[in-house]
Chain A
């Protein structure tokens, strides 16, 4: 469904993403992990059209979408959320989600109804009239999810939707993500914390300093010495094995 090939993106001299490739197949939940500053968000933003890649290609459903504007990519059926949540602060949760829902319909009543359905799906139906600015961190993360979902995507790019949540909230949002997948949406999920991904993803990619250093099942990844070193520093794998 999504084929990312040799994407590179530099900011000035800094190579944030360096020849990274990944694949997502229809119906999967795929994880993308890596230490802070690895380039995960940059890779997402590049896939979703927010950055133009210096090199490489992105294909969605077999069609090249490299360098297309975000709204065109959204129209193709792929939508991203933001790690640093970007609520429409001055308007209600309902209106926030309606902006997403308007992507599929120009009708106000349909959009409002769709917003309510999606809000129920992410467990926000009791907060529809709250302002975007008045939400808790968990609420904002859910709103990111809800708005993106309301556009009716086939592939959802989630950027650290669990960061900053407490364990109860994480369990809840993991349930929501599973429901979304069950509803037929394919998911590519960034997490900084490895554990968060293992309960969800069938496959995991590991990005470190802009390079894709490993790919495999969560179990295999957790054993991979290169991955352990990326997280804990050089030599750590040897120490852990000893």
Chain B
């Protein structure tokens, strides 16, 4: 086995044993790390690998959360069945946004801004149409049985998040070794050259956004089942979009483990600053301290480490 494979196996073993050894609140934090890495990876596949930066990825997250919740609460679906439906709906919204934006020839920051606009439109719609119950939000009836996608013991939701994260890592790994992935990277690096070399740039971009949207929507359902409540600003709020982008950029956009490393790092900062604020009274009023640290970190990374923290580990020539 190569060193990298060995490291992965060891990491996985540690992740499997971890929740058996720590108190519940730490299990919960671990769950959040993997969950955020998962939705971060959904961003990374489009934004990192294919270079289609989005500022509004939450549009897929919210679509997933609302689709499964509505199917469940209003139409009585089992959430396990509603999950693939929500995933498909996220894929559809990704497809639709891609077709509309890329047909119109939007690239780069224009595309990023249009995704932000879509997310805002969806948030406002969720606030006003009757079937989402508007600003009141939607409550999923607590009934903690696995058949209901609800778990009494937090260890199960932890393992589920770990599984999602694993799946997303495998998808990213596959991208680094497949023609589809090579084409996405080509599109990111130079769209005109990609076109000249026979790549149907429009079709590939639509494909990757469909995939990314589907993944992110699966995360939305997961989130709704964990917290049993969603409202428009939770489901479509800009902070989730920023979080997905942030973990990828901090960890290393366009890398397999970037979102996971970024998610670990940000969770670490979160906990460290919370602890710091509790012991240093002067910092009590500087809230949220973690955001300030994120901001500084992002500036440093954009300026000094264009490949994120992964850039520190990468062997061979660095990518500028």
Whether chain B is bound by chain A comes out as yes
Q: Which residue numbers of A lie inside 8 Å of B, CB to CB?
A: 48, 50, 69-71, 74-75, 79-82, 86-92, 95, 98-100, 102-103, 106, 108, 111, 129-134, 147-148, 150-151
Q: Are B189 and A80 in contact (CB under 8 A)?
A: no
Q: Are A88 and B186 in contact (CB under 8 A)?
A: yes
B8-16, B56-64, B158-166, B193-201 - the one binding chain A: B193-201
Q: Which residues of A contact B142 (CB under 8 A)?
A: none
The interface centre, meaning the residue of B185, B194, B196, B200 with most chain A CB atoms within 10 A of its CB, is B196
Q: Are B197 and A79 in contact (CB under 8 A)?
A: yes
Q: Are A50 and B189 in contact (CB under 8 A)?
A: no
Q: Are B193 and A147 in contact (CB under 8 A)?
A: yes
Chosen A-B contacts, 30 in total, with CB atoms closer than 8 Å, are A69-B195, A69-B200, A79-B196, A79-B197, A80-B196, A81-B196, A82-B193, A82-B196, A86-B193, A86-B196, A88-B189, A88-B190, A89-B189, A90-B189, A90-B320, A92-B317, A99-B197, A100-B198, A102-B179, A103-B198, A108-B178, A111-B179, A129-B316, A129-B317, A131-B317, A134-B317, A148-B196, A148-B197, A150-B197, A151-B198
Question: B103 to chain A: closest CB distance in Å?
Answer: 13
Q: Which residues of A contact B316 (CB under 8 A)?
A: 129
Q: How many residues of B contact A (CB 8 A)?
A: 23
B319 within 8 A of A: yes
Q: Point out the residue from A48, A99, A129, A134 that lies within 8 Å of B183, measured CB to CB.
A: A99
Chain A, Cβ-Cβ closest to B319: A90
Q: Which residues of A contact B189 (CB under 8 A)?
A: 87-91, 132
Within 8 A of A (CB), among B196-217: 196-201
Q: Point out the residue from A79, A80, A87, A111 that lies within 8 Å of B190, measured CB to CB.
A: A87
Q: Point out the residue from B183, B193, B200 that lies within 8 Å of A102, measured CB to CB.
A: B183
| In the complex, per-residue mask of B292-320: 1 if CB is within 8 Å of any chain A CB, else 0 | 00000000000000000000000011011
Tell me the bound Cα distance from A152 to B194 in angstroms: 15
B81 within 8 A of A: no
Q: Which residues of A contact B143 (CB under 8 A)?
A: none
Q: Are B198 and A74 in contact (CB under 8 A)?
A: yes
Tell me the bound Cα distance from A108 to B179 in angstroms: 7
Q: Which residues of A contact B320 (CB under 8 A)?
A: 89-90, 131, 133
